[in-house]
Structure 1
């Protein structure tokens, strides 16, 4: 027989003595985390390896001494092969283990004599004979005591056929026994020793089989069994015998050969627990009695212990309790779910959708009609499972006619009809209506709010139905919740409709179409609450094809804020007509807001875009910066000074100048679009930038006049550009304000695509500050209009330019500049260096002058003046002649 290799590997040695020293040093270095059973196993393995033994044994008697020696640990051979050594009586003559414990010293004795017979002091049993006959005739036993505090705790023995141990080997055995003894808990009381061995793994199980403990385990209420490393049963108590069979039929057999092998998954769980080295528990149904047991698998060295507890009654109680809880939950779930869902239902349509989702499925219903009675007639709020034609018939039923709806309103009691026959019996005149509905059972429930019936909720079914008392009570309770929610929702609908109507009246109904910009806008009211907001936007045409883009937000919600917004919007239009720069307009608005009250504040962004230069001038009063999307896909936000909002600011306001390439997008918005309870403003602005990155230049525009001089060539259809901007508005609002998200602030969005006036449509000349300037102006006008093929406008334009320039020479100062712009109209501008505003005055019949501006007003469609940084500009507009 070949002994097992040592569990502690050692390096090559040159002699027995050096090998023993090496093993002792290795054991001495072993950590203190070993259990007592592991320490005995390691010590025995090293002893067998050092003596080149066939097998090894550790017998245990405990600290009390004088007790039988029990086989605790084996090495080199299966435990079944050493059954003759399982127990050595205290009074019976024995071999080396008994002598080592009794004498407390090294013992060297044979297993058999030269004739091959058993020693006189060995029990003659079939098991011992089989052991003896399986060993060589020259097998000897070397044993040393395992020292204890007062007496040896047991013996460590090695079976060897290699001859008598050398002096070094004889010294190694006591040393390794002492090393193991130091790691085994020691006590002078047997109770502590038994407690420790109860905690030891299966390899030390025979040590716990001392009489009191063994008796307790044997008759333990729960099943207990032990299997070794080969999955053979080595111990089984009485309760486990009831499950597995008699002990004589089970011990020594593989656990899976009995009823345990028919338990689904048990073998796999046992093997997994042994492989993981961690306890695990599972519930299984035993095949012999079909009861449920909880099995706890505890891995131990060389085996596994199984604790089996009957949990059938517990499972039955748990199942009964769970079934009762499920039944209760199923009965109350519709009320709980409906109550929770109705708290989020804002509109009447929301209430109908909630009822359809949370009431119809639990009752397996197929149809729903929610009706209310107002202004003397029935009104269907919402329905499920009915055609429009059928619903129209409902509203046409006279109020005095006998019907379930009228009776429910009159009596305030529900009506349940389980079949068409019951329906016709109660309402003979409505047989056709019952047949047209396509349903077989109905529950008409009154909707009552604040003690008054407001309508009826009709729930219908595809099959005839017997309504139990519980179903009737539950449906009646649900109808009460629906009635309260519907009354609240209809009040919200009414107020919200009024607020929306007022809001629409305060905002521009349509954005103007201008040559400089194509614009699209969106206004999204808050989805929670009914208060109207103070957000607004506007696009205002200015002189010389310039455009003002405005967006603002009055802080707060309500009629006061809406009225303030209306005042500000009107003021902006008035100030824009004066052609004031953005910073001056904000200064006037700040005075207006300050005069309205100390608790009113508003943010505002005012921008003026000039298509002749591509410059955009912006001023902001506490408003979020606009986003600019360039045609190449670049997106950035304007760097605006942090001026306070209107009502809290101290003018002057700062003005920022931007150069916008043609087809750039200028995106103005209020904070309600980018900021919410779940998103800060920086994250919202980043989301705006991501949306604008995709294709902002999809509609590039060319020049407005082609090479041939056709002033209407190459401009794309503005409808296409506006459609693109509308899609972009929808994308931004959908991304930043999803439909399912409740918002507490309204939001405004204005997107403008800027256009440049083609260079060939701009003509400009400096003029001297002398009387000859009028003649030069007429000549320049004549030459330019001829080039533009506008001969029909020659006379009037010459007159206008001559009068404007002459007025500057007589009443203002230079430098003088004349500019003509060809756009949708013909624009004539005269710039000078004076800040004095020209005014039309009534000239007397004898006055020689004073009629110049009257002629300008008479021959132009529009005219006006605006201030510049170094003077003023007087301008006129004339309509272009119709094209053939």
Structure 2
């Protein structure tokens, strides 16, 4: 602290030095220290600084020990010795003096070191002055600056907390912001409690630290004697400024928190529109009392938290209402399907009540086979819009489409009638939809697409691909523009293959086009688990991680490979009109396949029925007949004959009469086959029949 002004002192020629009158006017005393003799001369003003009378000082520095505490004396001696040793010309230091009445005052000294020709210190001339007021002003300024900094920091905490609360959607989001340790630390708090008012009770939703939990206060009545209940009853904050006050006012609660080192606490009612919705308690250790500024900061923080908490409660109520409405519109259960594993999932949009009209459905269809594997209709769809009206329209459309499918209409007819219904519903909404009708015994799936995204197929080995299906206009629009002819696509599900249907919320991402989203989905499905339930969970988890403001509906249907019949072979041939050679080859193919696949005992029946079906096509339609033979190996061996044509006219039984030579075809099929039926295939149809055969025949 060697410093200011010492170098400006002039050395007197005589000794002791005479004090400068200017110094005296500024209440500065002078001293002259002869290092050879050790005498330390002080003037009258210096005596006043040290609070010494002239007769109490003998000129030796040791005599000053009655006024200079030992610690201060050691520090000054070390400073002077170091300055003389390192060649310094001056030094300066603040030190304390114990006055006659025992009080301490601050003083400041400056000294100029005079040396001889060899550089040896010979004499020190300097000043000493009272620095109490100077340091008091400086200390006051430092304390005021520290208080201002604390207040700014607390105000910043309120501002930062308020800014963070602006992004809180749920009650838990609000709790997470308030419990942020950085904010609590800057407020000087060591603990927190927060509760919500529910009827005449207060339920805690947050408390910390964990070891401060008080089981008896998880739920409290508003009329109990505890600070949270009191501030809710009175709508007035409660500031507890000492442990004694805490123990006196709330002895039961104090008994539980006495070991936590709590010395002060502030309990604030969280009020919105003059109604208490909750309460917050901020706990402190090592603190007593709250200044008006502290109270203002806490009240401002409580007001901000109350507003955010109210918004979060409204958001959660609207979210619950919207989600409940949409869940009520979706199927409560999905029927089990023999021959398939099915998984459905639904993820609601991220925005409050802005739910969408996404839906899924699985519809058992009439028909089936003796093997027990059935026919099902799988539906995925999305009504335009994100509101409760979209959900309501979705519910009506789902029920209508289910009814049309269950009546046995073809997939194209189901979609066309659903479009007409939506158009006549007198709503401005349209809907995209995909309807897939699957025969699980054969794996044949007929798909109709109304403006919806394409389905995916995941093979048993994990490979996945997008299946491009010709489609028509969305439901409602096709009826409005008189374009109700929906093309039907046909695909096959081999055992272990999975059909993936979803809405665009799983595909579309901001900044990417649909094709990129589909490629990403193909990759996700291909790399996902084999089990359809685990795969569905994985896809929904990805949707959750991605976020987004659109709903997601998902339906996965996997054809089983073990419990249902498994295809052991397949042959196919086309028979054109006017080509008797092709008809003969088809008959030979049927005969050879039947014998090779173990149906020798029923070869004649199968060949006769196949010939009848082919002949009917050639006689009653203008196109070719496509003959397909399949063998299924499972719980029993079955042979299946399918004859497909391009005519949409369905076959019907006719009375041939006693002398009629035609009209007996379907009677013959019904008599010889174990099961038979008709399916729509695009613009045509397929007549099929099945025969149960014994192995090794």
Query: Structure 2 length normalisation: TM-score?
Result: 0.59
Which runs of no fewer than 5 residues in structure 2 stay unpaired? 1-141, 575-590, 603-607, 654-665, 693-697
Q: 1:490 aligns with which of 294, 297, 313?
A: 313
Aligned-pair CA distance for 1:640: 4.5
Q: Does 1:564 align with 2:564?
A: no
* 2:361 partner SS: strand
Contact 1:627 1:689 in 2 (8 A): no
- 1:738-761: CA deviations, max 9, x gaps? 4xxxx3322223344455652239
2:414 matched to 1:585? yes
What's 2:201 paired with?
Answer: 377
Query: Structure 1 residues 483 and 698 mapped into 2: Cα distance closer, same or farther (>3 Å)?
Result: closer
Counterparts of 1:463-474 in structure 2 under 5 Å?
463-474=286-297
- Counterpart of 2:535 (choices 720, 725, 729) is 725
Aligned partners of 2:462 and 2:189: how far apart in 1?
54
Distance 1:510 1:596, change over 3 A: same
How big is the shift at 1:506? 2.1
The CA distance in 2 between the partners of 1:613 and 1:380, in whole Å, is: 59
The reply on whether 1:475 has 2:298 as its aligned counterpart is yes
Map Cα deviations across residues 556-615 of structure 1 (whole Å, 9 max, x no partner). Answer: 122221111111211222222244443332211211111112411111122334556655
Secondary structure in 1 aligned to 2:474?
coil
* Partner in structure 1 of residue 511 of structure 2: 680
RMSD of aligned alpha carbons: 5.4
Query: Helix, strand or coil: the match of 1:455?
Result: strand
The residue number in structure 1 matching 2:567 is 759
The residue that corresponds to 1:420 in the other structure is 243
- For residues 596 and 256 of structure 2, the distance between their equivalents in structure 1, rounded to whole angstroms, comes to 80
Give the corresponding residue for 2:503. Answer: 670
- In the alignment, does 2:144 pair up with 1:334? no
Aligned-pair CA distance for 1:480: 0.9
Residue deviations 1:843-879 (CA, integer Å, cap 9, x gap): xxxxxxxxx99xx9xxx9x998654569877899999
Q: Return the alpha-carbon distance in structure 2 between the equivalents of residues 337 and 455 of structure 1.
A: 21
Give the whole-Å Cα distance in 2 for the aligned partners of 1:444 and 1:863: 78
Q: Which one has a bigger Cα radius of gyration?
A: 1
Partner secondary structure for residue 531 of structure 1:
coil
Partner of 2:357: 534
Higher RCO by CA contacts (8 Å cutoff, separation 6 or greater) = 2
Provide the rounded CA distance (Å) in 2 between the counterparts of 1:386 and 1:555.
47
Match of 2:489?
A: 657
Matching residue of 2:282? 459
TM-score, scaled to structure 1: 0.47
Q: In structure 2, which of residues 228, 253, 256 is the aligned counterpart of residue 430 of structure 1?
A: 253
Looking at structure 2, the residues matched to 350 and 424 of structure 1 have their Cα atoms a distance apart, in angstroms, of: 33
Runs of at least 5 residues in structure 1 that lack an aligned partner in the other structure: 1-318, 700-719, 767-778, 789-793, 795-801, 841-851, 880-884
Query: Structure 1 residues 731 and 346 mapped into 2: Cα distance closer, same or farther (>3 Å)?
Result: closer
Offset at 1:520?
3.0
Question: 1-side partners of 2:684 and 2:504: how far apart?
Answer: 38
Contact conserved, 2:471 with 2:487, CA < 8 A, in 1? no
Equivalent pair of 2:200/2:221 in contact (CA under 8 Å):
no
Q: Distance in 1 between matches of 2:451 and 2:183?
A: 49
2:231–2:267 CA contact under 8 A, matched in 1: yes
Question: What is the distance in 2 between the residues matched to 1:347 and 1:493?
Answer: 6
The verdict on how the C-alpha distance between 1:414 and 1:645 changes in structure 2, with shifts beyond 3 A counting, is: same
2:423 is paired with a residue whose SS is helix
Q: Give the secondary structure class of the aligned counterpart of 1:397.
A: strand
How far apart, CA to CA, are the structure 1 residues paired with 2:423 and 2:279? 52
In the alignment, the residues of structure 2 paired with residue 516 and residue 380 of structure 1 have an alpha-carbon distance, to the nearest angstrom, of 51
How big is each residue's C-alpha offset from its partner over 1:424-481, in whole Å with a ceiling of 9 and x where there is no partner?
Answer: 1112343323337674432211000111112211122344444332221111111111
For residues 238 and 385 of structure 2, the distance between their equivalents in structure 1, rounded to whole angstroms, comes to: 48
CA contact (8 A) 2:488 2:682 kept: no
> What is the CA–CA distance in structure 2 between the aligned matches of 1:349 and 1:623, rounded to whole Å?
37
Whether the 8 Å CA contact 1:664–1:697 is kept in 2: the answer is: no
**Does residue 693 of the first structure (1) align with residue 523 of the second (2)?**
yes
